[in-house]
Amino acid sequence: MKLFLSTLLIFITIAIFAQEKEIDLYSLSLEELINTKVSISTKTEVNLRETPGIITVITKEDIWRSGARDIIELFHLFVPGFDFGVDVEGVVGMGIRGIWSHEGKYLFMVNGFAMNDGMFASVPFGNHFTLDNVEKIEIIRGPGSAVYGGYAGLGVVNIITRNNPEHGGKITYTCTHTGKQFSQNQLSFGQTIHDGELLINLSATIGAGSRSDRDYTDYYQQSRSLLNASNTYTKQVAFNLDYKNFTISTLFDDYSYYQIDLWDKLYRGTPLQENFTSNFVGISYKFKKSNFTITPHITYEWQKPWQLNVAEIGYGTNKIFHSLTPSISSVYQKSNIQIVSGIDFKTERLTMPSMLDTLYEETFKNGKDYLSYENIALYGQLLWNTRLANLNFGIRYDYSSEFGDAFTPRIGITKAIKKFHFKVMGSRSFRVPGGILPNRIPEGYQKLHPESGTIFEFENGYLLSNSLMVVLNIYDITFNDIIIYGKEAQSGVGYYKNQGKIGTSGVEVGLKFNTDKIFSNFNIAYYNRKHSESDSLFMVPAKHNQYLAFSPLRVNGLISYKVTNKATLSITTSYFGERYSYSYVANNNDILVKQKANLIIGLNMLLSDFPLKKFKTQLIATNLLNSKFYYIQPYKGAHGPLPGLDSSYGIRIAYEY
């Protein structure tokens, strides 16, 4: 309540002095939207319909229309094939196209900084990444290893926060409540300073919330309420300074949440706080001459992930991760040819805490207080636009002090011809086994080596009219020598080893309709498990076409209707087909449970110049049917289903001055 009152006071104060700035969510036609430029697939700007990748772009206007409170809700609506499941210690992670991708199979970035943690390469979700200061999100729904390396095997996400060139600022307050507790209570601020050749963008967020107020039941069928036991806290500050050709960027991200689920057995004490903290700084300078640009860049990263201390059971983890990455990239562009190349040299170090607590802290098998790795990468790609087709050839070579080398080629053929476009792509990808993983190799097992993926993709899109667009995607994915997780019987410490393969094939269909009154976005995603005798950790015995946790069929939709010039009504739907998980144990047998299909419906009303002139206010209602959705474990790992997505009602207020 103090945060709410303080926010209203700030809004009123700014309203007295600031100048009006009107935002029209329907100012772009569908044709303008689909012909926007994206850089995530090539690191240079290419037309969305011709870039060599299956790309989803989510704009700040899309975020407002959706009424989404966080990344999970947003991706469920806009990104076909992306889903979420629960891992150990209550962490919610992501799956892509039916495959559990949480530990290093996708790259998640904010302003180009990799958020994958330095221990397991994972990213925790659930009120973590604010949407209030997001300008745009670019997503590769497919391989990105040829450009980004070993965490981009199945997908790449880059959240772009405030990058406005216009002098001014914005303040946003978002609040939703379940009737029992706040599900989100967040204040965000953004400011742009533009003076001649100096451009500064600053954004900051502080917020609290919760993930559920329902009961959680562990693997041994013991229950406890999550009310006030699943609180989340987030702080994030992003800063970017551009002066002539010089750029400096920083990002601070601090995320913590309370949990009672640990690994398999319910925790009965005071809810446990788990922390993920990251700090980044990047510096670059562009040397431009004629058609040639060279950019030296250096990035430093400091993380403290998975920080958890449980005195009652003598468990603790407080390790610190550092990385330093000097790199240099070049772009040559002339006429119909573009050549991108670069070299990266990354050093990583995972260190023990400076002063060990009396709690358990996993030591390193090398007898030192740190693990360290180096990786050097060379990459290059050619984009050649011809009258008949655009050709893309890419190649990346990595050499790691830990796992040796990896060679990653890709080829793509794309073309946009008036209202029609197509893409045909084939790529290799890999997952690097870094962080703590090499320290957890069972006796007698070989050293870990990278997973190796082969992905084929096809896209066909057609602009049926100036208002209607349909896109069809087909893909085939195979990963060999996958890195699987297990536990040592005596110590209970997890271990990793290469074993077997995993894969899916599937189809995704997207439909966009946009007029001056109506905006709609629908997508359907279907995957089929590619049968393999070695993927038993992930498969559903009764359903040979699907994997644990992720429904083969997903349907999402959004319809926004501009009721008046000042009011827009939006309805959102997400359908999840039947899902399966090993949810509990009985008579020493793991019991497979079918989760019923879920339909989640949301409603929001966006009002301009309300409650005062120059304000933008959104009334939000989520999960109107009170569907009992669960995040379930995508592998056989003894974690009970985690309740989520409570019905919530609230408000988002923004002022841009």
Residues linked to residue 514 through DSSP beta bridges, in sequence order: 519
**Do residues 541 and 529 lie in contact, with contact meaning Cβ atoms separated by under 8 Å?**
no
Q: What is the per-residue pLDDT for 20? A: 38
Q: Which residues of the chain have pLDDT under 50?
A: 1-28
Residue 535: partners with Cβ closer than 8 Å, 6 or more residues away: 482, 500, 501, 502, 529, 547
Q: What is the DSSP letter of 266?
A: P
Phi, psi for residue 88 in degrees, rounded to 5: -60, 155
HSE-CB for 295 with a 13 A CA cutoff: 21
Determine the Cα–Cα distance for residues 453 and 408; give it in Å rounded to an integer.
Answer: 9
Determine the Cα–Cα distance for residues 115 and 137; give it in Å rounded to an integer.
Answer: 14
Determine the Cα–Cα distance for residues 164 and 515; give it in Å rounded to an integer.
Answer: 26
**Do residues 299 and 328 lie in contact, with contact meaning Cβ atoms separated by under 8 Å?**
no
Q: What is the per-residue pLDDT for 361? A: 85
Cα–Cα nearest to 431, from 447, 446, 410, 452? 452
CA distances to 102, 243, 393, 395 from 147, rounded to whole Å, are: 20, 27, 11, 8
- 3-class secondary structure, 404: strand
CA 71 to chain centre: 7
Phi, psi for residue 3 in degrees, rounded to 5: -65, -40
Determine the Cα–Cα distance for residues 67 and 8; give it in Å rounded to an integer.
Answer: 20
- 3-class secondary structure, 336: coil
Q: Record the tokens describing residue 171, joined without a space.
A: 């303040």
HSE-CB for 396 with a 13 A CA cutoff: 26
**HEC-encoded secondary structure of 444-481:** CCCCCCCEEEEEEEEEEEEECCCCEEEEEEEEEEEEEC
Q: Record the tokens describing residue 634, joined without a space.
A: 């995508």
Determine the Cα–Cα distance for residues 48 and 157; give it in Å rounded to an integer.
Answer: 15
Q: Is omega for the bond preceding 611 within 30 degrees of 0, making it cis?
A: yes
**Do residues 538 and 530 lie in contact, with contact meaning Cβ atoms separated by under 8 Å?**
no
**Degrees, nearest 5: CA angle 262-265-269:** 70
Q: Record the tokens describing residue 455, joined without a space.
A: 């992905």
- Residue 657, burial from CB neighbour count under 10 angstroms (0-12, 13-18, 19+): middle
Q: Record the tokens describing residue 535, joined without a space.
A: 């993927």
CA distances to 76, 202, 569, 616, 622 from 651, rounded to whole Å, are: 21, 24, 14, 11, 11
The residue whose two tokens read 């806290």 is 233
Q: What is the per-residue pLDDT for 7? A: 42
CA distances to 6, 44, 45, 233 from 330, rounded to whole Å, are: 48, 10, 14, 40
**Do residues 637 and 485 lie in contact, with contact meaning Cβ atoms separated by under 8 Å?**
yes
The residue whose two tokens read 């469920």 is 76
Residue 653: partners with Cβ closer than 8 Å, 6 or more residues away: 7, 11, 172, 173, 174, 615, 616, 617, 618
Q: What is the DSSP letter of 145?
A: H
Determine the Cα–Cα distance for residues 571 and 559; give it in Å rounded to an integer.
Answer: 5
What are the structural domains of the chain? 2-285+295-313+386-656 (2.40.170.20)
Amino acid of residue 401: S
Q: What is the DSSP letter of 269?
A: S
Q: How many residues does the chain have?
A: 657
Q: What is the DSSP letter of 141?
A: S
pTM exceeds 0.75, yes or no = yes
